Amino acid sequence: QVQLVESGGGLVQAGGSLRLSCAASGSIFTINGMGWYRQVPGKERELVASITRGGSTNYADSVKGRFTISRDNAKNTVYLQMNSLKPEDTAVYYCNGNVVNTARTTIDCWGRGTQVLVSS
């Protein structure tokens, strides 16, 4: 099986920064696209940023210019650098990866989430 584990969340003041990490482990052959999503209670999960295996990125308009997604393919890890944080960034952030496992099966994998709370 494959596991994705997020880390780096926490409490930060508005205007501050956090760096989230998501490490994939298990029976991994390779990982295609990876992404960060966020969700608040009662609302739908939304895409924050995504990155292809080759490093092409996409961002939600609400975070463009403030957040940066990156990845280290050798470590099967994706990062989200969050700067100039706003209270509306408060959410549980989830990592996603399109994983090809060692059986050569492609599966969409999710982490369990990490809480980001931005105070005003």
Q: DSSP assignment of 18-43, as one string?
A: EEEEEEEEESEEEEEEEEEEEE-TTS
Q: pLDDT tens-digit profile of 36-91?
A: 999 999 999 999 999 999 999 999 999 999 999 999 999 999 999 999 999 999 99
**Residue 32: CA count within 13 A, CB half-sphere:** 10
Mean residue pLDDT of the chain comes to 97
Contact 23, 77 (CB under 8 A): yes
C-alpha dihedral sign at 72, 99, 22, 58: positive
